[in-house]
Amino acid sequence: MGWRVRTGATVVGVLALLGGYLVADAYDVVPGMLTVSPPPEQPAPFPSAPGARPGPSPSAVLADLPADAPAPPAAEVGRLVTAVASDERLGPRVAALVVDATSGDELGAANADVGLVPASTQKLLTAVAAITELGGDTTLDTRVVLDGDDRLVLVGGGDMMLAAGAGDPDAVLGRAGLGDLAAQVAARVTVTGRTQVQLALDDSLFSGPTIAPTVPPREAELGYVAPVASLAVNIARLTDAEYAPRSSDPAMAAAGVFADALAEHGLQVVGDVRRTTVPQDVRTLGTVRSAPLDQVVEYAMQHSDNTITEVLGRLVALDAGLPGSVEGSTKAVVDSVSRLGVDMRGAVLVDCSGLGRGSLMTVRQLVEVVRLTVDPARPALREVAVGMPVAGLSGTLANRYGGENPGRGLVRAKTGSLPEISGLAGSVVTADDRLLVFAFLADQIPEGGAYGARVIFDGLAGQLSQLSAT
């Protein structure tokens, strides 16, 4: 397809997380599995991205784990899982599963085959599907083509992370810049003596509702997701805040930014920018490319970015020959994960990010997806494992696992949080250097208890890191 550039498969070494992280600051997370500080009055729909205070380097230590490292006793894991699953503070619907990553043996389970709301842990599926189907080295092109003699058309290829001015080759957000694109185009047009052009916009890549109908309107208004478009500046944010209000028409807003950039390079846009669809055989005047998709996936995982995850899902749909819509994306993601061997029977996905209401998954399905990412036979998927937040160090886990929680630096997981819903799915290294994979979900948490649920799940993962066969 025209929007996709494949440069080869990325192979990442065998993943393992080793401990040894020491920090001076104690973050605002209450230590211990059974100690819960007062919950916030209005829990955020998902954990806020890090940045309020500086933390240690997010880089993790990756190495080979010893093949003969012993797994912890199933009885001990089961005891911990049962204790958490029966904790009344989590409400009546709790599920948890812990599996040995190497053997696949079940070590502890509670309601492992009951469908619960996954919240943002669901992003793991979209990440795995994107890397599997599109490739980690794929980039997304934003182009300008010449339509006729004097009409330029800005063509979106799925990059909603454009910079307004110059791109930053070291960044993911803002890797490609509309200012750079304008410079390319103006250089080729003004040399002919032209100083005025018409500008049109082709944002026809995606179709259907720009926001999943299952997302509460208030959450879109608060900036938790933007309308999905084939191009946008700064993920359609109207300010630089993480959850800033978003443009209601990101692609057209980007076209306006591009028109201004052309003017700065001596090329005036006359008339209004109108939408069009260009044929395939047009002349390209300029192109800027996004960061590789493995980096885009990591950004989405670290920041739990709903908009970028929805874009990835729609790109997976287009690659599968399906419409780049909400329905096409959810089907394509489920189909992709199913082909990898995950039994997705009974699962319901109403979007690709987990922000919408109505998705259902079991912790067994989540664990199977996590296990794919640490499987040595699937090295490309290690990009997903490496992209997960690290406990106490990066992403949505940066400000968690403080105090005495021993899981700091040993747990790598995707968070999930909505009002009355909490989830955590990922991997942890035990005291014997054995890798375990896990998923914990609760979707009827008593009012005001979402923060406490995070602490309980973090505590369980931390306790797993201390288990030993001896």
Specify the pLDDT at position 148. 84
Q: Is 304 a known active-site residue? A: yes
Residue type for position 311? V
- Average pLDDT rounded to a whole number, residues 407-415: 97
Torsion, CA 164, CA 165, CA 171, CA 176, rounded to 10: 80
* DSSP 8-state code for residue 15: P
Catalytic hit among 304, 353, 422, 427:
304
With 90 as the cut, is the pLDDT of residue 151 above it? yes
Q: Which of 123, 331, 422, 465 is catalytic?
A: 123
Domain ranges within the chain, ordered by starting residue: 4-133+297-465, 139-290
Residue 65's pLDDT is what?
81
Return the closest-CA partner of residue 416 out of 33, 43, 55, 131: 43
Mean pLDDT of 406-422: 96
* Structure confidence by residue, pLDDT tens digits, 247-301: 999 999 999 999 999 999 999 999 999 999 999 889 999 999 999 999 999 999 9
Average pLDDT, the chain: 88
Q: State phi, psi for 456 to the nearest 5 degrees.
A: -65, -45
pLDDT exceeds 70 at position 42: no
- Residue 331 bears catalytic tag: no
Phi, psi of 147 (to 5 degrees): -110, 105
- Distance separating the N- and C-terminal Cα atoms of the chain: 55
Give me the CATH topology for the region 4-133+297-465: Beta-lactamase (3.40.710)
- Range in 47-56, 169-178, 335-344 the model is least confident about: 47-56
Q: What is the pLDDT of residues 349-387, one digit of tens each?
A: 999 999 999 999 999 999 999 999 999 999 999 999 999
User: Domain 139-290 belongs to what topology?
Assistant: D-tyrosyl-trna(Tyr) Deacylase; Chain: A; (3.50.80)
At position 121, the amino acid (one-letter code) is: T
Q: Is residue 446 over pLDDT 60?
A: yes
Q: How many helices (H) and strands (E) does the chain have?
A: 11, 14
Which of these ranges, 56-70, 213-227, 378-392, 395-409, has the smallest mean pLDDT?
56-70
Do the domains 139-290 and 4-133+297-465 match in fold?
no
Is 204 annotated as catalytic? no
pLDDT digits (tens, 9 = 90+) for 88-142: 999 999 999 999 999 999 999 999 999 999 999 999 999 999 999 999 999 999 9
Average pLDDT over residues 57-74: 70
Over the stretch 205-219, which tens digit does the pLDDT of each residue have?
999 999 999 999 999
Of the candidates 120, 329, 353, 465, the residue annotated as catalytic is: 120
Beta carbons within 10 angstroms of residue 173's beta carbon: 20
